[in-house]
C-alpha cells in the first residue's frame, strides 16, 4: 500500500500511509482506538471505493473497490465480530456461496468432506452439521478462520483475533498462525495486546492519528518505545492530574445483585471522585450500570444517593434523583442521529424547559451554546443533524447531553470508544472538570490507559463479582489487565 | 499527490432544482396551488366544467375535512415511528353504532359513550404496540378485523338507523343529524370547525409541549429515547389514543352524514389518511413533519379527488391514482432525505 488516504466527513482517517507486508511474515499493526488501523485494513478488504493512493500485490497494482475484488486477489479478513450465520450449520457457513452440487442438488457428502478438511486446518474436530449457535465462542472464532482459509488467501488480516479467546485457545491460534506463515501466507495482525505482538510478530507498524509512525523488525524495538509511539507521549504525561478534593460518599451500594449478571456488589462512590470499573466484556459492568440507572431492576441489595435510598420504577425516576448514564452504544442507544445537535442535548431536560403546558427549546439555547463551546463540538452548529458529525464529535454531543442534565452521579460506559485523540482529550478534561465540581463519576472502560490515567480508584469486576480494589498508586495497565483476567496477586 | 482536493460542492445543500426551490419556499401549499392551477387549466381547456366555482371549492374543503380529521390523529402515530393505525376504518364504524345505540339515553351520553369506546380501542392498540412491541401495522390491522367481527356479532350484520331506534326522541335525532349538518354562522360546516380546532391543538401539542418534544425523540430513535429515560410505552400509547379519538370524531361525522350505523362507514379511510399524512411531510421513518403540513396533504387529496371525479374517473381508478401518488411521494421523500444526508434509512 503506497500513500493511501481515506477521508470521512470532517476527518482524515488514514493519511498517506505506506505499508508493506512480505510473504510469509506476521506483520503486527498497533495503535490506539481511532488510530486508523481498521480503516486501513478495510481499504485492503475493498470496503471503500474512494481511497487515494495505490495498492500493489506481488508487484502488480490492483484496484480494491469491492469486497469481491479483494477476495479475488487473495485477501482474507477475519473481523472482531463474527460473520457467521448463527442458526445454520458449520459446513454451510464454511462453504457459503460455493456449496458443491450434484446436478441441481447439494452434494451432502462432498460438503461434509470439504468442511471437515477445512476444520482440520485450524485443528478443530467438530460435527460439521452442528449449527453455529451450539458451539462455543472460541470454536466459532476458529470456524471463522477456517472459512476465510477456504478462499485460499495469500494475505490474511486478523483484527483483534484473541479478544474473545482464553489463554489455551490463544496458544492454539498462534500454532495455526505459525503453520500459515510457513506456507508463505502473509498475516497482518491487529492487536492492542502488546505481549502477544511480541510473541508472534516479525515486524510491527505503529499508527497514530491516521499516520504511520514507524515500521520496525520486532527485535529492534521495545515495548516502552511502542507504547510511547502509540500514545505520542508517555501515559503519565498524557494524563496531567491535578489534585481534586474528594468528599464524602455520594453513592452507596450494598449487596446489589441481578441474578445471572452480577452478585453481591458493594461499593461507594464519593463526591469528586472518579471511580474506575475494570473488567473483561461479559464481566457484568454494563449490567451493573443499567441497574444503577434504573433501566433494569435489582434482585437484591440497596442503593443510596446522598443518604437517601435510590429507587424507582423507571429510568426517568432515577434521572430525577440525579443519576445519568452515558451508554456505550452511541449510535443506537445514545443519540437520535437524525435529530439536530440541540434536540439531542436537550432531550434529558425537556421537563426543565417546560413551564406549565409550554415546552420551549429556546429556553435551552444558552445551555446548548455553552456545552458546544465547552466541548468544542465541531461544527458549532446546533441545528446540524448529529449523524453528519464525525464520531468524536458525536461522542461529545452524547456527553453534552448528560452534562446538560446536571447529574450528581454520572456513569460513563466506554466514554471514548472509537474516537480520535483530540476528542478523547477534550472528553477526559471535561470528566475531570465534572469531578472537581463534586460530581461522583463512575468510569467503565476497556481502555486501560484511560482507566489508569483518570481513575482515583479502580474496582476490578470479574464474572459478576467485585474481586479487587486498586488505588491510583497500584494501578498500571498491566496490573489492571492481570486482575481483570483473574491473575496476579490477589 | 494523494492529497484529497478540497471541494465546495455539497450534495446536502437544499433546492438545487427549480421544483425543489419552489417546494422549499412554499412548502406543501405550493403543491396544493399547483393542483388548483391544474384544475383551472383543465377547466379553461374545456375538459372539466365548474371547477373554480365557490360551490366546488366548498366541495373540496368538505371532502378534505373528513380525511383531514382522521389524519390529524394518524399523524401522531406516524410521527411516533409506528407507521399507521390501520384500525381506523372499523373504529369509525364502531363509534357510529355505539352512538346510535346509546341515543336513547340522550344525545350527550351517546356521544360520550361512543368516544369512550373508541378510546378503549386506542388504549388497546397503544398497550400492545407500545408495551408489548407488536408490529403496529399487523396489530392494528388485526384489531380492525376484530372490531368488525364484534360489530357483526352484536348487531347480527344489521345496519342501524338513528330515527328507528326505540325511545329516541325526534329532538335527539335532529341533534345527531346536526353533527355533520350544523352550519356555524349559517355557512361553515361543523366538521370544518372541528378540523380547524384539531389542527390548532395538534400543531400546538407537537411543537410546543414536552409531549411533542419527546414524541419527536421516540420517532427519531426509539432506543435513544428509552436510554434518555423517556416513558416510551406511555407516549406511544398516547399517540394511538389520539388516533382513535380522531377516528371517533370522523366516525360520528360520517355516521351523521349517512344517517346509518354501518360497519363500512370508515372503509378506505386508513390508507387515505396515511397518504395525507405522508404527502403532508410526516415521513414513515418518524420524528419529522408538522400538523400544518398534514392539513396541506388533506387539501391536496381533496383537490385530487375532486378533479378526478369531475373527469368522470371511477372510484377504483381514483384509488389507483392515490396509490401511485403515495408511492411517488414516499420514494421522493426517501431519496431526497438520503441525498441530504439526513437519513440513515
> In terms of domains, do A266 and A193 share one?
no
Residue B84 grid cell: 399507521
Residue B310, in any domain of the structure: no
**pLDDT per residue as tens digits for the range A362-415:** 999 999 999 999 999 988 999 988 988 878 899 999 999 999 999 999 999 999
What is the rounded end-to-end Cα distance, in angstroms, of chain A? Answer: 46
Q: What is the largest CA-CA distance in chain A?
A: 77
Report how far apart, in Å, the C-alpha atoms of B265 and of each of A4, B172, B179, B240 are. Answer: 66, 21, 15, 20
**Inter-chain residue contact B227 with A361, CB threshold 8 Å:** no
Residue B8, in any domain of the structure: no
Of all helices (H) and strands (E), which one includes residue B180? helix B170-181
Domain with B244 in it: 71-270+283-289
In chain A, which residue's Cα lies nearest the Cα of B216?
A: A339
Distance CA A422, CA A428 (A): 10
Confidence of residue A35 (pLDDT cuts 50, 70, 90): confident
**Higher-pLDDT residue of A31, B277:** B277
Distance CA B240, CA B78 (A): 10
Residue A72 grid cell: 479475488
Q: Which of A48, A337, A397 is nearest to B341 (CA)?
A: A337
Distance CA A66, CA A51 (A): 12
> In terms of domains, do A283 and A212 share one?
no
pLDDT score for B45: 93
Interface test with B, best of A9, A350, A404, A409 (most B CBs within 10 A): A350
Angle at A171 between CA A166 and CA A177, to 5 degrees: 120
Residue A123, in any domain of the structure: yes
**Which residues on chain A place their C-beta less than 8 Å from a C-beta of chain B?**
3-5, 7, 12, 16, 52-53, 294-295, 314-316, 318-319, 325, 327, 332-339, 343-344, 346-348, 350-351, 353-354, 357-361, 385, 387-388, 401
Burial class (CB in 10 A: 0-12, 13-18, 19+), B324: exposed
Task: Tally the domains of chain A.
Answer: 2
**pLDDT per residue as tens digits for the range B164-206:** 888 888 999 999 999 999 888 888 899 999 999 999 999 999 9
> In terms of domains, do A477 and A345 share one?
yes
Task: Tally the domains of chain B.
Answer: 1
Residues found in chain B: 345
**pLDDT per residue as tens digits for the range A66-112:** 888 888 888 888 876 667 777 788 888 888 777 777 777 777 888 88
> In terms of domains, do A42 and A77 share one?
yes
Q: Is B342 on the interface with A (CB under 8 A)?
A: yes
Is the pLDDT at A253 greater than 70? The verdict is yes
Q: Nearest CA to CA, how far is B208 from chain A (Å)?
A: 5
Q: Which of A12, A318, A357 comes nearest B209 by C-beta?
A: A357
For residue A332, the chain B residues in CB contact (below 8 A) are: 221, 223-224
- The single-letter DSSP state of residue A387 is G
Is the pLDDT at A206 greater than 50? The verdict is yes
Distance CA A481, CA A488 (A): 9
Mean pLDDT of chain A, nearest integer? 84
Residue A169 grid cell: 485457545
Residue A211 grid cell: 499516520
Q: Which of A218, A234, A250 is the C-terminal boundary of a domain? A: A234
Residue A112, in any domain of the structure: yes
Q: Which of A234, A252, A279 is the C-terminal boundary of a domain? A: A234
CATH number at residue A113: 3.40.50.300
Q: Is B227 on the interface with A (CB under 8 A)?
A: yes
The ipTM value here is 0.88
> In terms of domains, do A84 and A183 share one?
yes
> In terms of domains, do A388 and A477 share one?
yes
Residue B27, in any domain of the structure: no
- The single-letter DSSP state of residue B160 is B
Residue A490, in any domain of the structure: no
> Could you give phi then psi for residue A188, rounded to 5 degrees?
-100, 125
Domain with A274 in it: 238-484
**Burial B42-55, CB ≥16 within 10 A → b, else e:** bbeeeebeebeeee
CA A244, chain centre distance (Å): 29
Which stretches within A405-442 are classed as H helix?
421-436
**pLDDT per residue as tens digits for the range A290-316:** 999 999 999 999 999 999 999 888 999
**Which residue's entry shows cell 475531570?**
A432
Is the pLDDT at A237 greater than 60? The verdict is no
Q: Is A191 helix (H, G, I), strand (E, B) or coil?
A: coil
> In terms of domains, do A213 and A321 share one?
no
Q: Which of B1, B210, B231 comes nearest A314 by C-beta?
A: B231
**Inter-chain residue contact B221 with A338, CB threshold 8 Å:** yes
Q: Nearest CA to CA, how far is A9 from chain B (Å)?
A: 11
Q: Among A141-155, A225-239, A421-435, B71-85, which range has the highest average pLDDT?
A: B71-85
Q: What is the largest CA-CA distance in chain B?
A: 92
> In terms of domains, do A186 and A323 share one?
no
Q: Which of B243, B191, B236 is nearest to B66 (CA)?
A: B191
**Which residue's entry shows cell 464529535?**
A393
Residue B316, in any domain of the structure: no
Q: Which residues contact B256 (CB under 8 A, 6 or more apart)?
A: B176, B177, B178, B179, B180, B181
Residue B112, in any domain of the structure: yes
> In terms of domains, do A324 and A177 share one?
no
**Inter-chain residue contact A358 with B209, CB threshold 8 Å:** yes
Residue A101, in any domain of the structure: yes
Q: Which of A214, A234, A254 is the C-terminal boundary of a domain? A: A234
Residue A489, in any domain of the structure: no
**Inter-chain residue contact B221 with A360, CB threshold 8 Å:** no
Residue A140 grid cell: 466459532
Interface test with A, best of B215, B219, B224 (most A CBs within 10 A): B224
Would you tell me the crossing angle of helices B269-279 and B88-102 to the nearest 10 degrees? 120
Amino acid at each position: 500500500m503506497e500513500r493511501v488516504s481515506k477521508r470521512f466527513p470532517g476527518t482524515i482517517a488514514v493519511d498517506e500511509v505506506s505499508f508493506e507486508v512480505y510473504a510469509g511474515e506476521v506483520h503486527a499493526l498497533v495503535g490506539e482506538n481511532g488510530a486508523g488501523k481498521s480503516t486501513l485494513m478495510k481499504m485492503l478488504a475493498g470496503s471503500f471505493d474512494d481511497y487515494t493512493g495505490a495498492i500493489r500485490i506481488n508487484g502488480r497494482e490492483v484496484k480494491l473497490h469491492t469486497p469481491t475484488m479483494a477476495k479475488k486477489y487473495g485477501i482474507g479478513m477475519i473481523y472482531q465480530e463474527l460473520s457467521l450465520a448463527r442458526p445454520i450449520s458449520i459446513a454451510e457457513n464454511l462453504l457459503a456461496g460455493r456449496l458443491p452440487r450434484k446436478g441441481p442438488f447439494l452434494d451432502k457428502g462432498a460438503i461434509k468432506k470439504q468442511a471437515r478438511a477445512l476444520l482440520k486446518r485450524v485443528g478443530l474436530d467438530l460435527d460439521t452439521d452442528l449449527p453455529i449457535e451450539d458451539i462455543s465462542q472460541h470454536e466459532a472464532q476458529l470456524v471463522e478462520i477456517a472459512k476465510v482459509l477456504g478462499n485460499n488467501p495469500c494475505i490474511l488480516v486478523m483484527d483483534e483475533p484473541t479478544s474473545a479467546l482464553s489463554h489455551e485457545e490463544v496458544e492454539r491460534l498462534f500454532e495455526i498462525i505459525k503453520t500459515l506463515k510457513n506456507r508463505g501466507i502473509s498475516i497482518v495482525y491487529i492487536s492492542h495486546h502488546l505481549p502477544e505482538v511480541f510473541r508472534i510478530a516479525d515486524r510491527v507498524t505503529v499508527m497514530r492519528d491516521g499516520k504511520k509512525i514507524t515500521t520496525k523488525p520486532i527485535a529492534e524495538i521495545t515495548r516502552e518505545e511502542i507504547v510511547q509511539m502509540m500514545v505520542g507521549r508517555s501515559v503519565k504525561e498524557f494524563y496531567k492530574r491535578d489534585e481534586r478534593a474528594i468528599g464524602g460518599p455520594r453513592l452507596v451500594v450494598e449487596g446489589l445483585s441481578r441474578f445471572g449478571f452480577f452478585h453481591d456488589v458493594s461499593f461507594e462512590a464519593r463526591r469528586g471522585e472518579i471511580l474506575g470499573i475494570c473488567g473483561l466484556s461479559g464481566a457484568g459492568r454494563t449490567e451493573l450500570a443499567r441497574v444503577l440507572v434504573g433501566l433494569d431492576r435489582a434482585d437484591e441489595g440497596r442503593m443510596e444517593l446522598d443518604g437517601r435510598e435510590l429507587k424507582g420504577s423507571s429510568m426517568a425516576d432515577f434521572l430525577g434523583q440525579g443519576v445519568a448514564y452515558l451508554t456505550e452504544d452511541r449510535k443506537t442507544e445514545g443519540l437520535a442521529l437524525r435529530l439536530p445537535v440541540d434536540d439531542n442535548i436537550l432531550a434529558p431536560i425537556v421537563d426543565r424547559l417546560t413551564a406549565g403546558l409550554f415546552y420551549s427549546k429556546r429556553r435551552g439555547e444558552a445551555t446548548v451554546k455553552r456545552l458546544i463551546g465547552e466541548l468544542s463540538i465541531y461544527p458549532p452548529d446546533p441545528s446540524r443533524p448529529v449523524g453528519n458529525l464525525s464520531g468524536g464529535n458525536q461522542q461529545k454531543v452524547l456527553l453534552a447531553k448528560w452534562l446538560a442534565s446536571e447529574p450528581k452521579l454520572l456513569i460513563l460506559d466506554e466514554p471514548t470508544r472509537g474516537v480520535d485523540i483530540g476528542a478523547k482529550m477534550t472528553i477526559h478534561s471535561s470528566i475531570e472538570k465534572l469531578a472537581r465540581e463534586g460530581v461522583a463519576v463512575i468510569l467503565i472502560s476497556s481502555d486501560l490507559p484511560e482507566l489508569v490515567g483518570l481513575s482515583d480508584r479502580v474496582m476490578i469486576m470479574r464474572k459478576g463479582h467485585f474481586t479487587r480494589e486498586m488505588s491510583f498508586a497500584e494501578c498500571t495497565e498491566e496490573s489492571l489487565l492481570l486482575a481483570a483476567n483473574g491473575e496476579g496477586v490477589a | 499527490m494523494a492529497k484529497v482536493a478540497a471541494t465546495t460542492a455539497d450534495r446536502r445543500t437544499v433546492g438545487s432544482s427549480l421544483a425543489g426551490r419552489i417546494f422549499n419556499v412554499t412548502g406543501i401549499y405550493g403543491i396544493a396551488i399547483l393542483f388548483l392551477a391544474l384544475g383551472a387549466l383543465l377547466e379553461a381547456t374545456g375538459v372539466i366544467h365548474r371547477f373554480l366555482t365557490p360551490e366546488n371549492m366548498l366541495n373540496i374543503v368538505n371532502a378534505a375535512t373528513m380525511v383531514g380529521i382522521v389524519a390529524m390523529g394518524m399523524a401522531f402515530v406516524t410521527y411516533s415511528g409506528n407507521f399507521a393505525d390501520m384500525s381506523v376504518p372499523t373504529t369509525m364504524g364502531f363509534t357510529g353504532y355505539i352512538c346510535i345505540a346509546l341515543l336513547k339515553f340522550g344525545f350527550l351520553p351517546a356521544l360520550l359513550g361512543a368516544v369512550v369506546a373508541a378510546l378503549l380501542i386506542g388504549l388497546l392498540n397503544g398497550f400492545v404496540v407500545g408495551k408489548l412491541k407488536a408490529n403496529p401495522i399487523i396489530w392494528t390491522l388485526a384489531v380492525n378485523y376484530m372490531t368488525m367481527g364484534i360489530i357483526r356479532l352484536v348487531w347480527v350484520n344489521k345496519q342501524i338507523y338513528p330515527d328507528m331506534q326505540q325511545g329516541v326522541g325526534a329532538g335527539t335525532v335532529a341533534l345527531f343529524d346536526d353533527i355533520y349538518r350544523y352550519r356555524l354562522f349559517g355557512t361553515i360546516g361543523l366538521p370544518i370547525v372541528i378540523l380547524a380546532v384539531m389542527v390548532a391543538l395538534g400543531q400546538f401539542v407537537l411543537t410546543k409541549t414536552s409531549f411533542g418534544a419527546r414524541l419527536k425523540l421516540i420517532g427519531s430513535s426509539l432506543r435513544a429515547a428509552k436510554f434518555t429515560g423517556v416513558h416510551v410505552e406511555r407516549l406511544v400509547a398516547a399517540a394511538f389514543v389520539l388516533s382513535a379519538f380522531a377516528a371517533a370524531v370522523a366516525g360520528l361525522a360520517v355516521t351523521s352524514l349517512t344517517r346509518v350505523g354501518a360497519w363500512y362507514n370508515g372503509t378506505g379511510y386508513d390508507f387515505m389518511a396515511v397518504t395525507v399524512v405522508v404527502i403532508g411531510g410526516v415521513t414513515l421513518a418518524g420524528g419529522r413533519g408538522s400538523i400544518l403540513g398534514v392539513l396541506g396533504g388533506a387539501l391536496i387529496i381533496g383537490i385530487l379527488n375532486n378533479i378526478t371525479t369531475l373527469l368522470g374517473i371511477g372510484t377504483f381508478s381514483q384509488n389507483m391514482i392515490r396509490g401511485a401518488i403515495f408511492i411517488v411521494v414516499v420514494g421522493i421523500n426517501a431519496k431526497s432525505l438520503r441525498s441530504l444526508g439526513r437519513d440513515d434509512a
